[in-house]
């Protein structure tokens, strides 16, 4: 399993250079890039990366403040990449894997990556595989003042609609005042999967995964609906294909 990696740096050139190093590493999957600490906090909560390459000084929210948003036991492994050496002690106080001082070369980056790989693999080995989540027998939703009881197989997909979500059913549609995150939690992950920020699909309704432009993929449902597959969710391809 690849190490899902997030790059956080407010300097585009620094991100470009680091991306070029990481793309040559077969064990690394870059799942996103952020140009500020606040963007990083949102991305970590949303995508749960294994590894962060984290700049120390950024507008608004620095690297240490980013980490402070998360309990130590849930933080990704962190390699700081910064132009300032004065934060090194602070970095290791928060258990950073390594501290790269800009400008660093490919060899120094690889050295840090080897340390990070050991940390990430150790964490994975220490975590027992979770018991399979039992899919719900039925889902209760409120729509137009009614309580509606649905079987999972009746739901084809869920679509975000501002402050609402639209349930596309085998027969008809229902508009609910609910967030995507809330409905995603209630649907579970055994039968349903989020394929991008605005869409959740019933896996039984997926007919195929197709390549799209620029290395992206799209999901095609049995009713002909085509949905983009988010790059940050590319790991779900294995699940679509019947893997773990």
| Distance, CA of 119 to CA of 137 (rounded, Å) | 39
What pLDDT band is residue 92 in, cutting at 50, 70 and 90?
Answer: confident
The whole-number pLDDT of residue 244 equals: 42
What pLDDT band is residue 144 in, cutting at 50, 70 and 90?
Answer: confident
Q: How far is CA 28 from CA 20, 43, 46, 119, 172, in A?
A: 12, 17, 19, 14, 43
The whole-number pLDDT of residue 243 equals: 46
CA proximity to 182, closest of 195, 163, 168? 163
Q: Inform me whether the pLDDT recorded for 88 exceeds 50.
A: yes
| Distance, CA of 16 to CA of 12 (rounded, Å) | 6
Q: To 10 degrees, what angle do helices 12-23 and 106-126 make?
A: 70
The whole-number pLDDT of residue 130 equals: 66
What are the contacts of 189-193 at 24+ separation with CB within 8 A?
189/133, 190/132, 190/133, 190/134, 190/135, 191/135, 191/152, 191/153, 192/152, 192/155, 192/158, 193/233, 193/236, 193/239, 193/240
Q: Inform me whether the pLDDT recorded for 232 exceeds 70.
A: no
CA proximity to 83, closest of 7, 21, 10? 10
CA proximity to 212, closest of 197, 231, 238, 235? 231
Task: Give phi and psi for 61, each to the nearest 5.
Answer: -155, 115
Q: What is the mean pLDDT of residues 133-151?
A: 85
Cross-strand pairs, 218: 210, 228
What pLDDT band is residue 48 in, cutting at 50, 70 and 90?
Answer: very high
For residue 144, the SS3 value is coil
Question: Percent of the chain having pLDDT more than 70?
Answer: 92
Take residue 82 and report the two structure tokens written for it: 């910064």
The whole-number pLDDT of residue 156 equals: 97
The whole-number pLDDT of residue 209 equals: 87
* Average model confidence (pLDDT) across the chain: 89
The whole-number pLDDT of residue 215 equals: 75
Q: Inform me whether the pLDDT recorded for 27 exceeds 90.
A: yes
User: Which domains, and CATH codes, for the chain?
Assistant: 3-124 (3.40.50.2300), 139-239 (2.40.50.1020)
Question: Percent of the chain having pLDDT more than 90?
Answer: 59
């Amino acid at each position: 399993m690849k190490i899902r990696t997030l790059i956080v740096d407010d300097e585009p050139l620094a991100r470009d250079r680091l991306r070029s190093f990481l793309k040559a590493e077969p064990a690394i999957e870059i799942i996103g890039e952020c140009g500020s600490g606040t963007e990083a906090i949102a991305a970590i909560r949303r995508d749960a990366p294994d590894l962060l390459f984290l700049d120390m000084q950024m507008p608004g929210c620095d690297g240490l403040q980013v980490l402070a948003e998360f309990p130590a036991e849930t933080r990704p492994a962190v390699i700081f990449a910064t132009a300032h050496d004065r934060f090194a002690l602070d970095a290791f106080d928060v258990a950073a894997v390594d501290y790269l001082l800009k400008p660093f070369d490919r060899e120094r980056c690889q050295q840090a990556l080897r340390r990070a790989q050991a940390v990430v693999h150790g964490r994975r080995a220490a975590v027992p595989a979770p018991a399979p989540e039992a899919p719900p027998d039925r889902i209760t939703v409120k729509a137009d003042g009614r309580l509606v009881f649905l079987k999972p197989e009746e739901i084809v997909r869920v679509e975000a609609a501002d402050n609402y979500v639209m349930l596309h059913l085998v027969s008809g549609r229902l508009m609910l005042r609910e967030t995507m995150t809330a409905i995603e939690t209630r649907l579970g992950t055994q039968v349903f999967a989020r394929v991008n920020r605005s869409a959740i699909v019933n896996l039984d309704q997926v007919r195929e995964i197709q390549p799209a432009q620029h290395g992206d993929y799209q999901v095609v449902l049995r009713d002909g609906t085509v949905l983009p597959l988010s790059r940050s969710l590319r790991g779900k391809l294995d699940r679509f294909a019947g893997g773990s």
